[in-house]
A and B are shown apart, each in its own frame.
Chain A
Amino acid sequence: MSERTTPERGSAPDPATSLGDTIAGGWDDRGDELPPADWGRSSSSRRTGTVWLFALFITAMAVAHAWLTDDLTGQAFLAWATIFTAISFQALPFLVFGVALSAALVAFVPTSAYQRFIPSRPGRAVPVAGVSGALLPGCECASVPIAGSLIKRGVAPAAALTFLLAAPSINPIVMIATAVAFAGQPEMILARFAASLLASVVIGWVWVRFGRADWLRLPSRTHAPNASKWEVFRESMVHDMMHAGGYLVVGALAAATLNVMVPREWLMAVAEAPVISVLVLALLAILLSICSEADAFVAVSLTDFSPTAKLAFMVIGPIVDLKLIAMQAGVFGWRFVARFVPICLVVGLLSTFLIGGILL
C-alpha cells in the first residue's frame, strides 16, 4: 500500500510550500505511513513513532504560529533570532550545493581521477591543493564536506585540508568581494591572497610532517556493494547534510549570541594597541563566523583598526571560526579539531604578521 502511494508524493513535491501546505504535508505523511502492512516489527513501530513525533511538532508549530508569534516582542530576542536565521539561511544554499558537489565527487568520479590530478607525494600535493582552492567558488560551509570526500577518495589528508582552508579564503568570489570592499587598495587584496595561500600551504606541510592519520575520524560508509551511483549520491548527500548541517546551526547559535551580546565599544577601546588590535580582530573573526564572501565588507567597516588587523580578520575568519569548528567537528571529529584549529590559528597569525609587515 505504502509502496503504491509514496512514489506519487515523491514525483510531485510542491515547491511552493506555505505553512498551510507544510502542515497538510505533515498530515499526509502520517496518513501514508500508517498502513499496518508490517505492523508490530520494532523498526516500523519506531518509524511510526517518528512520524507521530513530527506530526506533533508540526501541529505545535502551527499552534505557536497562531497564538505565540505576535507575543514575541522582546527586542533583544528578536534581534538575536534575526541574526541566527540570517546566518543559517545565508549558509544554507552554500551548504546544500557544497554537499551536493561532495556527494557527486564520491558517487561519480572514480578514484583514479584524483590520483591523476593530485600528486601522490603529500608534500607536493599540498601546494597543488592550495592553488586549486583559488578556482572553486564556495564558502567554508561548502568546503568542509568536500574536503571530507576528497580524503575518502584517497587524496592525502594534508592536501585535502589545505584545500579546505584555501577554497573559502581565496576563491574568485571572495577576491572580487575584497576588491569591491577595498577599492583603491590593491595591496590589501594582494595581501589577503598571499597571506591566506601561504597559511593554507604551510598548515598543509605542518600536517604532512606532524599529522597522524588516527586524529581524523571519517565516517566509514558501508554502501551495499550493488548500490547504484544515484543511491550512493543520495546517501552521502543526506549523511553530509545531517552532520555538517547540525553543526552549522550550532555555529549560527553561538555567532548570533555573541553578535548581540558583545558591545562594539569594547572593540573600539583596544583598536589603538598594535599587536593586541590584530589579536582582537582575529578573535572577533572567530566569534562572528561571518561567511568569507562577506567578511571583507565587515573588515573595511572597522575603520579604527590598522590594515594588518583588518588583514588578520580576513585571513583568520575563513580558516578558523565557530561555525567552521563546529562543522569540522561534525565531519572529522573533536580529536581532529583540538589539534587542527590551534595550528591554523598560529600559522594564520604568523602569516598575517609576515605578509602584513611586507605589504601593508
Chain B
Amino acid sequence: MNRIAQGLTLVLLGAAALTSTVPTDLYLNWVKPGFGPFLIAAGVVMVLLGVLVIVAELRGGDQALDQEDVVPSGAAAAGDDGPARSELDHAAAEYAGHTGDGHGHDHERAPGVAWLLLLPVLAVFVVAPPALGSYTVESTGGSSGPPPRDENGSSRFTDNLSEAAPGEVVELDVQQFVMRAWVDEERELADREVELTGFAVPTEDGEGWYLARLQMACCAADAVVNKVLITDHPAPEADTWWKVRGTWVEPEGELYDASEHEIDTSSVEAVTDPPDPYE
C-alpha cells in the first residue's frame, strides 16, 4: 500500500466517521449518543492526517519512493542496514529482529492488511447498517432482561416510579420496567400505569408479541435484550415502533422465578422511529 493509498484511505475513513455523525444520525445505530463528539474528532483528525500525507507525498516523496521501487518488498530481509539507522532508532533496532516479513521499508509502505480499513467505509456508505432489531431479539432467545444488580432495596432503582404521584402515568425504559418486574420485592410497579416505548417482536409460539428494546453499554456488540410480553393486542408487524400504556401483570409466586414479564395494555400507539434506538 503506497503513500497515496494510505492518505486516501485515511481521508475516506475520516469521511465515513464524519458522515455518520454530522449530517446523519447513523452512528446512533452502533454506539452511544455520547460517543458522537469523539467520532467527530477522530474523523477530523483522520481527514487532516490523510490530506497531510498526500500533500507531503506529492511535494517531496519522490526520492524515497524511487529508492523503494528498487527493493522488491520480499527482499526486505536484506535491509539489515545497521549504519543507516539514525541514533534515535537505536533502541528499536536492538529489538527489531528485522525478519524481513515484507515490509522492511514500512516507513513508506503499509502492509496489505491496511486495505481492510476500507471495509468500515464500505459498511457506512453502502450497507449503512441499521440498528439491531427483532432478529437479534429472536436469536438471543430465552433469557429475557437484565439481572438483578444487588439486593440493596428499592433505592437502587434509577427510574422515576417512586417519585411519581399516584395515578400519574409513569414513563419507563423497557429495561427499568423489566428490572422492577424482576427484582422489586416491594412490588411498587403493581397497579401503576406505565408507558413504554419499543419495537414489536413476534413470539416463538405466535401467542401475543413482545415490546422489546435493546440496552447498550458501549456499542451494539454488547447489546442486551429487554422485552415485555403483550397478549391483549393483536401483534403488529415486526420491527415497527410502538408506545404502549398499561399495567404490569403481577406474576404468581416469586418474582425471581418469572421468565417473562407481561403488561396489560390500555393503549397501543404507533410511533415513528425514535432517534436513539437503544436505551
From residue B71, how far is it (CB to closest CB) to chain A in Å? 12
**Stretch among B129-137, B192-200, B228-236, B266-274 lining the A interface:** B129-137
Name the CB-closest residue of A to B61.
A43
Are B10 and A241 in contact, CB atoms less than 8 angstroms apart? yes
Does residue B140 face the partner (Cβ distance < 8 Å to A)? yes
The CA-CA distance from A100 to B105 in the complex, in Å, is 21
Pick the residue among A72, A83, A151, A303 that contacts B127 (CB under 8 A): A72
The CA-CA distance from A26 to B4 in the complex, in Å, is 12
Interface on chain B toward A: helix, strand, loop, or mixed SS?
helix
Interface size class of A (residues with CB under 8 A): 35 or more
Taking Cβ atoms with an 8 Å cutoff, the residues of B that contact A are 1-2, 4-15, 17-20, 22-23, 27, 29-31, 35, 38-49, 51-59, 62, 65-66, 69, 84-86, 88-99, 101, 103-107, 110-111, 113-132, 135-136, 139-143, 146-152, 156, 217-222, 224
In the complex, which residues of chain B have a beta carbon less than 8 angstroms from the beta carbon of A22?
12, 15, 19, 125
Taking Cβ atoms with an 8 Å cutoff, the residues of A that contact B are 2-3, 6-7, 9-10, 13, 15-19, 21-22, 25-26, 29, 33, 38, 41-44, 46-47, 50-51, 53-54, 57-58, 61-62, 64-65, 68-69, 72, 75-76, 78-79, 81-90, 92-93, 95-97, 100, 111, 151-154, 157, 177, 181-185, 213-223, 225, 231, 234-235, 237-239, 241-243, 245-247, 249-250, 252-253, 255-256, 259-260, 263-265, 268, 288-291, 293-298, 300-301, 303, 330, 333, 335
In the complex, which residues of chain A have a beta carbon less than 8 angstroms from the beta carbon of B106?
219, 221, 239, 243
Pick the residue among A44, A85, A296 that contacts B123 (CB under 8 A): A85
**Would you give 17 A-B contacts (Cβ < 8 Å), ordered by A?**
A15-B18, A33-B58, A79-B136, A82-B132, A82-B220, A84-B119, A89-B39, A95-B42, A111-B88, A154-B91, A184-B152, A234-B49, A242-B1, A243-B111, A265-B142, A298-B222, A303-B147
The CA-CA distance from A38 to B125 in the complex, in Å, is 35
The CA-CA distance from A265 to B97 in the complex, in Å, is 46
The CA-CA distance from A231 to B59 in the complex, in Å, is 13
In the complex, which residues of chain B have a beta carbon less than 8 angstroms from the beta carbon of A58?
12
The CA-CA distance from A57 to B126 in the complex, in Å, is 12
